[in-house]
Chain A
Amino acid sequence: MTDSKYFTTTKKGEVFELKTELQSDKKEKKKEAVKKVIASMTVGKDVSALFPDVLNCIQTDNLELKKLVYLYLMNYAKSQPDMAIMAVNTFVRDCEDSNPLIRALAVRTMGCIRVDKIIDYLCQPLRNCLKDEDPYVRKTAAVCVAKLHDINAQLVEDQGFLDQLRDLLSDSNPMVVANAVAAISEILETSPTAQQVLEMNSSTINKLLTALNECTEWGQVFILDAISNYTPKDDKEAQSICERVTPRLAHANAAVVLSAVKVVMKFMEMLEANSEYISTLVKKLAPPLVTLLSAEPEIQYVALRNINLVVQKRPEILKNEMKVFFVKYNDPIYVKLEKLDIMIRLTSQANIAQVLAELKEYATEVDVDFVRKSVRAIGRCAIKVEPAAERCVSTLLDLIQTKVNYVVQEAIVVIKDIFRKYPNKYESIIATLCENLDTLDEPEARASMIWIIGEYAERIDNADELLESFLEGFQDENTQVQLQLLTAIVKLFLKRPTDTQDLVQQVLSLATQDSDNPDLRDRGYIYWRLLSTDPAAAKEVVLAEKPLISEETDLIEPTLLDELICNISSLASVYHKPPNAFVEGSKSSLRKILPPRSQSGNVGDDQPSPPAEAPSAPAATVIPGVDSLIGDLLDMDLGGPSMQQQQMYPPQPTSQTPVQGGGGMDLLGEGLDSLLGGPAPSGDSLGGLGDIFGMPTAQSYVPPQEVWLPASKGKGLEVTGTFSRKQGNVIMELTFANKAMQPMTGFAIQFNKNSFGLMPASPINIPSALLPNQSTSYSLQLSTMGAVQRMDPLANLQVAIKNNIDVFYFSCLVPMHALFVEDGEMEKRVFLATWKDIPAQNEVQHEICNVQHNADTISQKLKNNNVFTIAKRNVEGQDMLYQSLKLTNGIWVLAELKIQPNNPNFMLSLKARAMDVYQGIQQAFDNILHN
């Protein structure tokens, strides 16, 4: 018997025909008809019109037919909610069937029918099934709770299903435990309120570890993933969990292995860094990771993406396994590229010879991307392993000889980096490079080549001719190339002023007059002025010593890496992106972070294991190789010359005012000083400029009062108000007006849970009665110790006011700047590191229109509102202000304010880890700047 015949009928009267068949008395015919219906459904035809007829077939003792009808129901119930109700009875009955397979089938299907009206009827059957004597039914019911929670979370919590679910963790059957764990993990991710009920503790973890030994491979994955979300109370517990999890590393299922790796990688953080157990674990992790590479290519790919993370976090694990990452001829391209990536990371002096031989081999392959990456990898090797640099360079030269266009271009780009890393060593090859000038057609390669010519102009006899040849098509070049050409010619001029005057004139006029690119124009003007006023200074600037380039590239920044380590094996680890970057909705707001080292070990070596990239190194002196082209011009990076200047100012006196939380930041305390009206310290590069304009009053901005509760809704009580910030506290400025006919007494105020945990610091106290037609003002000090619940909009605050008449409710918006705390000034280095740390996709721009102030007034104004200008720099005519602020709940927000001369519209870029706050902050900037 074949089923394909069901697909073939495509006549017009088909639906009608099916209808009659469905109503047939003969069981066989009925079943055939249902099969046809399902077949139509599969190919995407709409057969929802048959709903009642199919539903009629549900009462059957034929399990196969029943399954088909249920399948149909799942598909169409949503579009026919009224009809679906008719199925309820069947579900309820089937849930009590004597056959456990049918009971489970019913409860499984039930959860997939997402019709609100039905749900209520299904609670009782589900409750019974959760206590069913048959484990098969219980394990199905456990998953059903998660389904129901997805449809209606409140209902699940109200009906006590969470408690039942938790009890299933102690079930005698391992599969029930596993499914319960899966359901719990999912519920926890979406609903923070379920936390109290479902919180894991060491005894539940113990139960899970016991079940781990007995359940199916998939169940083991659920359990391991759940354990990885648990934070052990100390290092002993972490170690004992690791001990019980490591046997899983020998499982045949890659998902089990990777989830076990995740648990171990995460809990290792809690163990003493140099303990013997750590090195045992490190030894145990390597073989299973390597074995994953002999699985199917898709699994290999997932494994490789994860190994990439593991290698960055703990390079020691795989340091001796270089060979297994050698590319095989038949590997799919995605596996090849990933292997290459890991090879570069593992390269060291010990294995460089082998690696180089391999890379040379790869550079002759077919796939363009792969070849390019291989060539680039050779360059990376040269920069990373100094003793091998020479061999790498000669390999690159060999490759250039092949004259394969993209190979040559890629090689030139990396050679430029090698020149920068090892100045005065390999310049002898410049001649060879120059031979290939004509073949370069990619901007990056052209720019690199031009950089090389400019940098070594004194050694290249015909440098002027070469550069001139580029100049011909100046207008058609990519900006990157144009900028580089401009700089290179200026360099050349400074080195050989006599015979290149014409050339430099030409390029300067091209850049300043014929270009409408502001960057190019501005750079042109800067050079022009420098050259015309003070050639010596020009020399110092343009031919300045260049900062070193870093050895590693493409490193994932440490905080993201840590988060990804917690997400090993998940999609996030495949994309190398945090889950919220690709999962819709803010549901999964729970960010997973590595647990801190527990304190029970020695105090001496308390230091957490050093992250792959040492963040303490002054970031400004290390410019990653790739974007060095732009950076080397003036070294305008934040921490450059301007920073040294600033450091010459004496440190500001520390303030005495206690700041809540008392972080280390208040050492700088400038914000407070200005609040107290002290002598304008303005320690930043603005210098005394502020004085000239006269200091604006050092007061934070207070929005005008607005009506929160109109008298008509307050039974005669009108409440107007606003928020301000005084002496480090949020103040709610309230005005009560009595527009009723009777006196009002007994005022009290309460807030609902809100985003920032605001609550009255003390109860409201209005001593005398408020008489009709009178009003009174009251400043209510707020604290931020209250309960937190995310509101939408974020700054929304729901207030209840009570008096002798009634209780009134209203909501108002807290202006975000009232929540900016006084110690929101970030140290420059920290600022720089943080700015880099926060992924670029978190950066959001916002235009602030029509501002009538200059940069200095603005930074003063902002400072009065606890937005601190960390640094100011002038880039090509426009002022850039770098600012930091901190919210009462400790969220840091970094801002970049771009002010162009003669343009009243400013551009504000915000960067923070929590993007939810942006809107409020943009609003706050708008208000402050327009005030």
Chain B
Amino acid sequence: EVLISRVYRDDIGRNAVDAFRVNVIHARQQVRSPVTNIARTSFFHIKRSNIWLAAVTKQNVNAAMVFEFLLKMVEVMQSYFGKITEENVKNNFVLIYEILDEILDFGYPQNTDTGILKTFITQQGVKSQSKEETSQITSQVTGQIGWRREGIKYRRNELFLDVLESVNLLMSPQGQVLSAHVAGRIVMKSYLSGMPECKFGINDKVLMDTRGRSNMDESSSRTGATSGKSSIAIDDCQFHQCVKLSKFETEHSISFIPPDGEFELMKYRTTKDISLPFRVIPLVREVGRSKMEVKVVVKSNFKPSLLAQKVEVRIPTPLNTSGVQVICMKGRAKYKASENAIVWKIKRMGGMKECQLSAEIELLNTSDKKKWTRPPISMNFEVPFAPSGFKVRYLKVFEPKLNYSDHDVIKWVRYIGRSGHYETRC
């Protein structure tokens, strides 16, 4: 069923939908490619729960742009009405049409910033605005600072920085790191008046090395006695569109005028010197054809004063498992038949600790010759530090027109390390 469709160009007929339904949605195989070409028509598709979003074209379009746009569209819709479900889409179809009209023109994406869109696409219907209001809107939509409107005022100027890292690990059964990287995000919530210019300092090697000496002195006094290594090597970083990229390239400084409210300032990736918060040591023994013994040891590897939360270890079991006996010293472990896994949850776990689980798995005799392919043991957790060693050195705020200074701004910084794909093969 088509929930909503908008045709921007003449060359796509309505029957394209049928082709998509037959060849992609109802195809026997799982999706083998997110781009499908049917009769010289290309379909780009992504799926959110049971809703498919597809972009259709006959031209040689920019594929990366199409997918980025679809994802952006999801983001915009979510910010307007929450989860994308059939019901929500139907409930908001007028709104969606209105958004689609605004963010895409003849196949060319336009301003897709939710903050800006919300200033003039509202569900309440637009009351006829005054001339100043409308011209303010249009200048914002097209403007150089398309992400912030003028005249914002706060009694208390405040900002929050969240350093969110997700640690990805692939480890061999012998404990050798096959690949590991940290994908970090810095999410900023800014409640600042006016058009503040911000300067952001981090402990990246390149950035620190290229700063002048005088700057170094100042910053070292600011950061005080930072513990551990002083700088880290960032492989690559990407910034929100508000960050002046050319300045970053030439002066190695991160400066920007932030959008109001919450946004993702920066993404980065590191691969060197990652302190892995946990290590999983698996031991799997097949006892005959009908039994398996599994022993899993989890070691935490960070300062004893810190606490990890929401620790969860997922140990896959064969498909022909008939019964499981689990013993664990800490936390709770349960065999979940529907997920083919033993799920072991530990609410809190301190640094430099060790926990153990052992299980006996009984297997049914099956005629199925196919060998069980032993998926990796995966882990979830949350720790209150940045495993990459990332540190915020400073964030300075300048607003020349209004009379508040950097010292008046209340700043909060928080570090959270979470598990990404944190897997150990067994």
- A residues apposed to B, CB below 8 Å: 1-4, 6-7, 35, 38-39, 42-44, 61-64, 67-68, 71, 74-75, 98-101, 104-105, 108, 111-112, 114, 134-137, 139-140, 143, 146-147, 150, 173-176, 179, 182, 213-214, 216-218, 221-222, 225, 244, 246-248, 250-255, 257-259, 287-288, 290-291, 294, 296-299, 301-303, 306, 323-324, 326, 328-330, 332-334, 354, 357-358, 361, 364-366, 402, 404, 567, 569-575, 579, 582-584, 588
- Determine the chain A residues whose CB is within 8 A of the CB of B63 once the complex forms: 302, 569-571, 573-574
- Determine the chain A residues whose CB is within 8 A of the CB of B137 once the complex forms: 101, 136
- Determine the chain B residues whose CB is within 8 A of the CB of A98 once the complex forms: 131
Q: What 1/0 mask marks residues of chain B from 49 to 62 whose CB sits below 8 Å from any chain A CB?
A: 00000000111111
Pick the contact of A334: B14, B34, B92 (CB < 8 A).
B34
- Determine the chain B residues whose CB is within 8 A of the CB of A1 once the complex forms: 123
Contact, CB under 8 Å: A569 / B93: no
Can you list 12 A-B contacts with CB-CB less than 8 angstroms, sorted by A residue number? A3-B95, A6-B93, A43-B2, A63-B125, A137-B138, A250-B239, A259-B64, A291-B236, A297-B34, A298-B34, A334-B33, A364-B374
Pick the contact of A298: B67, B110, B235 (CB < 8 A).
B67
- Determine the chain A residues whose CB is within 8 A of the CB of B123 once the complex forms: 1
Given contacts A64-B98, A143-B108, contact A299 B236 (CB under 8 A): no
Contact, CB under 8 Å: A213 / B244: yes
- Determine the chain B residues whose CB is within 8 A of the CB of A111 once the complex forms: 106
- Determine the chain B residues whose CB is within 8 A of the CB of A302 once the complex forms: 35, 63-64, 67
In the bound complex, how far is the Cα of B44 from the Cα of A871, in angstroms?
46
Contact, CB under 8 Å: A3 / B94: yes
Q: Which of B60-93 contact A (CB under 8 A)?
A: 60-65, 67-71, 87, 90-93
- Across the two chains, which residue of chain A brings its CB closest to B177? A323
Contact, CB under 8 Å: B32 / A3: no
- Determine the chain A residues whose CB is within 8 A of the CB of B113 once the complex forms: 216
- B residues apposed to A, CB below 8 Å: 1-5, 7-11, 14, 30-35, 37, 40, 42, 44, 46, 57-65, 67-71, 87, 90-95, 97-98, 101, 105-106, 108-113, 120, 123, 125-126, 128-129, 131, 134-135, 137-139, 141-144, 146, 170, 172, 178-179, 181, 183, 235-241, 244-246, 248-249, 264, 267, 269, 370-371, 373-376, 421, 423, 425
In the bound complex, how far is the Cα of B30 from the Cα of A147, in angstroms?
37
In the bound complex, how far is the Cα of B298 from the Cα of A26, in angstroms?
70
A294 to B: closest C-beta gap in Å:
5
Contact, CB under 8 Å: B241 / A217: yes
B119 to A: closest C-beta gap in Å:
11
- Determine the chain B residues whose CB is within 8 A of the CB of A108 once the complex forms: 101, 105
Contact, CB under 8 Å: A323 / B236: no
Contact, CB under 8 Å: A287 / B97: no
Contact, CB under 8 Å: B135 / A134: yes
Given contacts A67-B101, A225-B62, A329-B423, 19 further A-B contacts (CB under 8 A): A3-B90, A4-B90, A43-B2, A99-B131, A146-B106, A222-B108, A247-B248, A251-B238, A252-B264, A291-B236, A298-B67, A298-B70, A306-B64, A330-B421, A365-B373, A571-B59, A582-B37, A584-B11, A588-B60
B329 to A: closest C-beta gap in Å:
28
- Across the two chains, which residue of chain B brings its CB closest to A71? B97
- Across the two chains, which residue of chain B brings its CB closest to A65? B125
Contact, CB under 8 Å: B134 / A101: yes
In the bound complex, how far is the Cα of B57 from the Cα of A298, in angstroms?
17
Pick the contact of B67: A4, A296, A588 (CB < 8 A).
A296
- Determine the chain B residues whose CB is within 8 A of the CB of A105 once the complex forms: 101
In the bound complex, how far is the Cα of B4 from the Cα of A548, in angstroms?
58
- Determine the chain B residues whose CB is within 8 A of the CB of A571 once the complex forms: 35, 42, 57, 59-61, 63
In the bound complex, how far is the Cα of B373 from the Cα of A259, in angstroms?
40
In the complex, the number of residue pairs spanning A and B with C-beta atoms less than 8 Å apart equals: 275
Contact, CB under 8 Å: A255 / B65: yes
Contact, CB under 8 Å: A250 / B373: no
In the bound complex, how far is the Cα of B94 from the Cα of A173, in angstroms?
30
B413 to A: closest C-beta gap in Å:
21
In the bound complex, how far is the Cα of B370 from the Cα of A166, in angstroms?
65
B204 to A: closest C-beta gap in Å:
12
A157 to B: closest C-beta gap in Å:
19
List 5 A-B pairs, minimum CB-CB distance, nearest first.
Answer: A287-B236, A136-B138, A255-B65, A218-B109, A579-B60
Contact, CB under 8 Å: B61 / A298: no
Contact, CB under 8 Å: A150 / B10: yes
Pick the contact of B1: A43, A74, A296, A570 (CB < 8 A).
A43
Contact, CB under 8 Å: A303 / B129: no
Pick the contact of B238: A112, A246, A252, A255 (CB < 8 A).
A252
- Determine the chain B residues whose CB is within 8 A of the CB of A43 once the complex forms: 1-2
In the bound complex, how far is the Cα of B125 from the Cα of A297, in angstroms?
37
Contact, CB under 8 Å: B64 / A213: no
Contact, CB under 8 Å: B237 / A326: no
- Determine the chain B residues whose CB is within 8 A of the CB of A250 once the complex forms: 236-239, 245, 248-249
A620 to B: closest C-beta gap in Å:
35
- Across the two chains, which residue of chain A brings its CB closest to B100? A71
- Across the two chains, which residue of chain A brings its CB closest to B105? A143
B358 to A: closest C-beta gap in Å:
24
Contact, CB under 8 Å: A44 / B67: no
- Determine the chain B residues whose CB is within 8 A of the CB of A4 once the complex forms: 87, 90-91
A779 to B: closest C-beta gap in Å:
46
- Determine the chain B residues whose CB is within 8 A of the CB of A306 once the complex forms: 64
In the bound complex, how far is the Cα of B375 from the Cα of A213, in angstroms?
46
Contact, CB under 8 Å: A63 / B64: no
- Across the two chains, which residue of chain A brings its CB closest to B133? A99
Contact, CB under 8 Å: B142 / A139: yes
Pick the contact of B134: A39, A99, A288 (CB < 8 A).
A99
In the bound complex, how far is the Cα of B137 from the Cα of A216, in angstroms?
16
In the bound complex, how far is the Cα of B44 from the Cα of A809, in angstroms?
50
Contact, CB under 8 Å: A218 / B112: yes
Contact, CB under 8 Å: B144 / A44: no
- Determine the chain A residues whose CB is within 8 A of the CB of B69 once the complex forms: 218
Contact, CB under 8 Å: B134 / A100: yes
- Determine the chain A residues whose CB is within 8 A of the CB of B241 once the complex forms: 216-217, 251-253
B326 to A: closest C-beta gap in Å:
23
Contact, CB under 8 Å: B92 / A216: no
B31 to A: closest C-beta gap in Å:
7
Contact, CB under 8 Å: A570 / B61: yes
- Across the two chains, which residue of chain B brings its CB closest to A569? B64
Contact, CB under 8 Å: A252 / B239: yes
- Determine the chain B residues whose CB is within 8 A of the CB of A253 once the complex forms: 68, 241
- Determine the chain A residues whose CB is within 8 A of the CB of B93 once the complex forms: 3, 6, 38-39, 42
B266 to A: closest C-beta gap in Å:
8
Contact, CB under 8 Å: A290 / B37: no
In the bound complex, how far is the Cα of B113 from the Cα of A571, in angstroms?
26
Given contacts A140-B105, A290-B269, A291-B269, contact A246 B249 (CB under 8 A): yes
Contact, CB under 8 Å: B371 / A402: yes
Contact, CB under 8 Å: B34 / A301: yes
- Across the two chains, which residue of chain B brings its CB closest to A306? B64
In the bound complex, how far is the Cα of B127 from the Cα of A61, in angstroms?
9
A244 to B: closest C-beta gap in Å:
8
Contact, CB under 8 Å: B40 / A7: no
Contact, CB under 8 Å: A213 / B94: no
Contact, CB under 8 Å: B60 / A570: yes
Given contacts A43-B2, A251-B239, A291-B238, contact A326 B142 (CB under 8 A): no
- Determine the chain A residues whose CB is within 8 A of the CB of B126 once the complex forms: 62-64
Pick the contact of B62: A3, A244, A259, A303 (CB < 8 A).
A259
In the bound complex, how far is the Cα of B168 from the Cα of A324, in angstroms?
11
Contact, CB under 8 Å: A248 / B245: yes
A894 to B: closest C-beta gap in Å:
27
- Determine the chain B residues whose CB is within 8 A of the CB of A74 once the complex forms: 7
- Across the two chains, which residue of chain B brings its CB closest to A288? B236
- Determine the chain A residues whose CB is within 8 A of the CB of B67 once the complex forms: 254-255, 296, 298-299, 302
Contact, CB under 8 Å: A214 / B14: no
B327 to A: closest C-beta gap in Å:
27
Contact, CB under 8 Å: B425 / A361: yes
In the bound complex, how far is the Cα of B106 from the Cα of A179, in angstroms?
11
B52 to A: closest C-beta gap in Å:
12
- Determine the chain A residues whose CB is within 8 A of the CB of B125 once the complex forms: 62-64
